[in-house]
């Protein structure tokens, strides 16, 4: 009994140290562990959202509204910590938007000044050597609209697999795709299928309908197969364009060949029998395909999956191509390039690579001119070329597109 009394007294002393006596008497919790609550605090009614009065002006954001000092979502529920973090990041992004534009403008002016200095140096050297400066300066060919009967279709029917920021990234890549195809030596028909949802809404609101001024571009609410039908009618029509030698069909030349580089019997690289009813005029570009694209051919549509998903989803484009019964192929990157990173390209890079091939007819040269240096690639069998690609500035984006194109690559080849 004595031991029990001593233990009870010790427990009381410990409780007094953790929660002083005045705390228990006053009902105000000051315990360091925070587990005890005052009776009046436990009985306090839960704060609920109330509609704001006309005199109040709550802060309204895309994520929710501020009411009585707390942020609430569209469903009258307080925002979670992750939602608040995303909201703060978005607000911070908007605050520094003008600063980022100013930095890009300064960099652009620096590049222009550097080019002027290089040009003036070449002219001075030519004059010193007694040579006509016009002979040492590269003559830029004036731009001319030269359509060819080849179509690039960007399949935008992957919205459900992308987050909001990834949709922003995709919209910037679509802007670049148009710009690259527009200024190419030969212009393929550019089509956007499944043009609807948040992507279309972004172009109509944030980008202020700038796509309405795009020339020789078609937007289709239907899927890529419906867009391919209209593209085929355009290519075979009177305004389809010139059939240049590179895409001219001839006997003995293949546009797609089975991928059999390893010489083994990998079932994914064996020649597969084409299913009945496969549309031969449509080729869906996907890395899952057992075939490699050797060349582009006239009156053919090449479909690019418009998706940015950090490589979360696998084989979406290949499954979609099989579902719609069209041919599949992948770009011959592995045959020409030794890469230090993945063989995954952005949507606009795939468009530019094929546009470059129409100009030079050489996949290796097209890869060299388009793939950025950060990929760390070299031409196979020609290590003297060094790193591939131009020193591209990822911040060079259309001013109408929101900055924030993610470094995560879309599965343009899936």
DSSP string, 318-360: HHHHHHTTEEEEB--HHHHEE-SS-S---HHHHHHHHHHHHHH
164, 165, 197, 149: which is closest to 300 by C-alpha?
Answer: 149
pLDDT for residue 40: 45
Residue 389 and residue 368 in contact, taking contact as beta carbons nearer than 8 Å: yes
CA distance 226 to 197: 18
Q: What does the pLDDT read at residue 73?
A: 56
> Residues of CATH 3.40.1280.30 domain(s) within the chain?
147-385
Work out the angle at residue 191's Cα, subtended by the Cα atoms of residues 187 and 197, and round it to the nearest 5 degrees.
150
Conformation bin of residue 389: beta by default, left when phi > 0, alpha when psi is -120 to 50: left
| d(C-alpha 19, C-alpha 3), whole Å | 24
48 SS3 class: coil
Residuewise pLDDT in 10s, the chain (414 residues): 545 555 555 555 554 554 444 444 444 444 444 444 444 444 444 444 444 333 333 344 444 555 555 555 555 678 888 889 888 988 998 899 899 999 999 999 999 999 999 999 999 999 898 888 888 888 778 888 999 999 999 999 999 999 988 999 999 999 999 999 999 999 999 999 999 999 999 999 999 999 999 999 999 999 999 999 999 999 999 989 999 999 988 766 667 777 654 443 333 333 444 556 788 999 999 989 999 999 999 999 999 999 998 778 888 999 999 999 999 999 998 888 887 766 778 999 999 999 999 999 999 999 989 988 777 778 877 544 444 445 444 434 333 333 333 333 333 433
Catalytic residue among 155, 157, 309, 414: 309
The CA radius of gyration of the chain, in Å to the nearest whole number, is 31
> What CA–CA distance (Å, rounded) separates 29 from 39?
9
Number of H helices, E strands in the chain: 13, 12
What is the end-to-end Cα distance of the chain in Å, rounded?
77
Under 8 Å CB-to-CB from 402, ≥6 apart: which residues? 168, 171, 172, 206
- Give the pLDDT score at 377: 72
Question: Tokens at residue 398, please?
Answer: 């259309």
| Tokens describing residue 278 | 């496969």
Q: Answer yes or no: 414 catalytic.
A: no
Return d(Cα 319, Cα 411) in angstroms, integer: 13
Pick the CATH number of 147-385 from 2.60.40.3080, 3.40.1280.30, 3.90.1150.10, 3.90.226.10: 3.40.1280.30
d(CA 407, CA 330): 22
pLDDT at res. 344: 76
Q: What is the pLDDT of residue 263?
A: 40
């Amino acid at each position: 009994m004595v031991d029990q009394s001593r233990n009870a007294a010790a427990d009381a002393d410990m409780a007094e140290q953790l929660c002083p006596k005045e705390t228990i008497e006053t009902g105000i919790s000051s315990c360091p562990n925070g587990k005890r609550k005052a009776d009046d605090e436990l009985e306090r009614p839960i704060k609920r959202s109330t509609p704001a009065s006309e005199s109040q002006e709550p802060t309204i954001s895309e994520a929710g509204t501020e009411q009585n000092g707390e942020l609430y979502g569209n469903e009258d529920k307080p925002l979670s910590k992750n939602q608040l973090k995303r909201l703060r990041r978005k607000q911070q992004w908007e605050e520094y938007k003008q600063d980022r534009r100013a930095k890009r403008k300064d960099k652009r002016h620096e590049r222009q000044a550097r080019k002027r200095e290089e040009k003036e140096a070449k002219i001075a050297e030519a004059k010193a050597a007694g040579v006509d400066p016009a002979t040492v300066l590269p003559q830029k060919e004036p731009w001319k609209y030269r359509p060819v009967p080849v179509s690039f279709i960007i399949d935008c029917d992957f919205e459900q697999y992308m987050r909001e920021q990834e949709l922003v990234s995709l919209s910037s890549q679509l802007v670049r795709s148009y710009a690259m195809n527009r200024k190419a030596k030969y212009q393929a028909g550019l089509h956007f299928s499944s043009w609807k949802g948040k992507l279309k809404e972004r172009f109509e609101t944030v980008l202020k309908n700038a796509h309405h001024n795009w020339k020789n571009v078609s937007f289709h609410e239907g899927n890529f197969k419906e867009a391919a039908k209209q593209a085929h009618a355009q290519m075979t029509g009177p305004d389809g364009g010139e059939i240049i030698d590179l895409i001219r069909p001839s006997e003995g030349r293949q546009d797609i060949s089975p991928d059999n580089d390893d010489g083994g019997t990998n079932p994914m690289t064996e020649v597969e029998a084409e299913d009945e009813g496969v549309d031969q005029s449509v080729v869906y570009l996907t890395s899952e395909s057992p075939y490699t694209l050797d060349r582009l051919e006239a009156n053919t549509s090449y479909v690019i999956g418009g998706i940015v998903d950090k490589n979360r989803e696998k084989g979406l484009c290949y499954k979609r191509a099989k579902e719609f019964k069209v041919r599949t192929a992948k770009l011959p990157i592995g045959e020409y390039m030794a890469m230090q990173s993945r063989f995954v390209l952005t949507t606009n890079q795939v468009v530019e690579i094929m546009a470059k091939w129409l100009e030079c007819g050489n996949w290796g040269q097209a890869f060299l001119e388009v793939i950025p240096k950060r990929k760390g690639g070299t031409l196979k069998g020609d290590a003297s070329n060094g790193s591939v690609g131009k020193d591209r500035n990822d911040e060079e984006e259309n001013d109408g597109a929101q900055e924030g194109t993610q470094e995560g690559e879309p599965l343009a080849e899936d």
